[in-house]
Amino acid sequence: MISKIVAPIIIASSLFLASCGGGGGSDSNADEGITYTGSKSPATVDASNAEALAIAATGGANQAIAADTANGANPISPRGSETNSNLVSKLVEQLEIIAATRSRIAQQPLPICDPGGMADLDQNSDGTQGTIVFTNCMITGGNGEVVNGTVTFNATISGTTLTSLDMWFNDFSVTYQGETHVIDLTVLCAGSPLVCDLFSDFVGLDGRIYRVEITTVTNTAGASYDVDATVYDPTHGYFTVDASVNFNNCPGGVPETGTLTITGDAATTASVVFNDCDGFTVTHLGVPTVYLWTNIL
């Protein structure tokens, strides 16, 4: 259920809640932040888990909307307005060039920042491990966004071809028009041409660790959004979310109004209505139950 995108068109998500990056090819790397280690089986929606899945779905929708709040200028956002401003695709391209030219200079700048910013590559002798440190880097060809932080990578090179690339963005910041978004994510690429899997692991509204895959986000009006995503719940597994929500005025990152539909294995479903900032109603098999955020957060 992870998105697969052929490089160099790679997307990722910006995280709005407290968040944590994923791991390497095994989905686990202790040096790369907290990692989702929960169920990766399909969830079956039933009366016993409908509340938990509603909470997970709300957090997942929040994450997806946060990616959109960079107004299309976030270079690691699925809502990026220009493909050539995508920072991840630029990194893949540069590391492919370095592999093709057999450039093994330990430290070298990457030509992806406008004058005044830096993207400094520090790699080992065979180019299979390294870091890229960004300092006030305004992305060349972008929309005026400035990035700061470190990307860690592991690569496999066959001859002059980059055959796999894992990258971790941890506490990586993107600033645009006065707003700063902190990004924690994992990108795993393999094959020829490189095909990349992307996922983001985050701490949800209830303090548990989740994983989210964003499909689409549409800003319908003001702070109202339509969201399609797949969310992984650590206990119950993954399910899809189809939401139309407004996150405008409530504290704690909960919706003020809106609805979402949860669909699990064997077409099991539940619907959620956000009544106000205080609570929401979950309906499963025609039976509605009201929940209060004060009992959850």
CA–CA distance, 222 with 247 (Å, rounded to integer): 10
Cα dihedral 215, 271, 278, 69 in deg (nearest 10): 10
201-212 pLDDT per residue, tens: 778 878 889 888
- 58, exposed or middle or buried, with CB in 10 Å at 0-12, 13-18, 19+? buried
CA–CA distance, 170 with 154 (Å, rounded to integer): 15
Up-side HSE of residue 291: CA atoms within 13 Å toward CB? 18
> Averaged over 93-115, what is the pLDDT?
90
Q: Which domain holds residue 250?
A: 3-295
Q: How many CB atoms lie within 10 A of CB 159?
A: 8
More confident residue, 181 or 208: 208
Q: In percent, how much of the chain has pLDDT > 70?
A: 77
More confident residue, 143 or 2: 143
Which residues 6+ apart lie within 8 Å of 269 measured at CB?
A: 45, 261, 262, 263, 284
266-279 pLDDT per residue, tens: 999 999 999 999 99
70-99 pLDDT per residue, tens: 334 445 543 332 333 467 778 889 999 999
- 287, exposed or middle or buried, with CB in 10 Å at 0-12, 13-18, 19+? exposed
- Could you give the number of structural domains in the chain? 1
| Separate counts of helices (H) and strands (E) for the chain | 2, 16
CA–CA distance, 293 with 297 (Å, rounded to integer): 6
Cis peptide before 8 (omega within 30 of 0): yes
Question: Which residue, 193, 173, 191, 192, is CA-closest to 183?
Answer: 173
The pLDDT of residue 224 is: 85
Quick one: pLDDT band at residue 8, thresholds 50, 70, 90? very low
Residue type, 101: T
Cis peptide before 193 (omega within 30 of 0): yes
The pLDDT of residue 217 is: 76
Which residues 6+ apart lie within 8 Å of 31 measured at CB?
A: 152
Residue type, 9: I
| pTM for the structure as a whole | 0.66
